[in-house]
Amino acid sequence: MARPIVAVVDDDPHMRAALERLLRSIGYRVATFEGTAQLLAHRDPGALLCVLVDLQMPGIDGVALTATLTARYPSLPVLAMTAYPGEAVRRRAMDAGAVAFLAKPLDAALLEAHLALVARASG
């Protein structure tokens, strides 16, 4: 059986590369996207294990992407991440449908725990 694919959506190429290395090191395949349009153009976003999305991006931000993904693919978990955590930002992300809210720099163990929960829930 193929390993699951985690999508990473972040406009920062260094963050995308770092997350790709981390996720591969813990056993996931990774698809990276520099923004919302690139992810939505993916051949089948609904087939992904989950989407790890930065909330602060130019154009369509991560909150709007989370809401779009939740509406189009209700069973696709979205994990929100931001370098600017705060209660208002967390609430917006969770209200948009995120299943987790992570502060940058990401805690690798916490991310891995959230991914393990998502993987278990997907069966």
Give me the residues of the chain with pLDDT under 70, please.
Answer: 1-2
Question: What pLDDT was estimated at residue 4?
Answer: 85
Q: Are 85 and 103 in contact (CB under 8 A)?
A: yes
- Taking CA atoms, 17 is separated from 8, 20, 21, 87, 93, in Å, by 10, 5, 6, 28, 23
- What pLDDT does 122 receive? 86
Q: How far apart are CA 58 and CA 121, in angstroms?
A: 32
Q: What is the pLDDT of residue 2?
A: 66
- pLDDT score at 45: 81
- The model's pTM is 0.94
Q: What is the mean pLDDT of the chain?
A: 94
For the chain, which domains are there? 5-38+46-122 (3.40.50.2300)
Pairing of strands 50-54, 78-82: parallel
Q: What is the per-residue pLDDT for 1?
A: 53
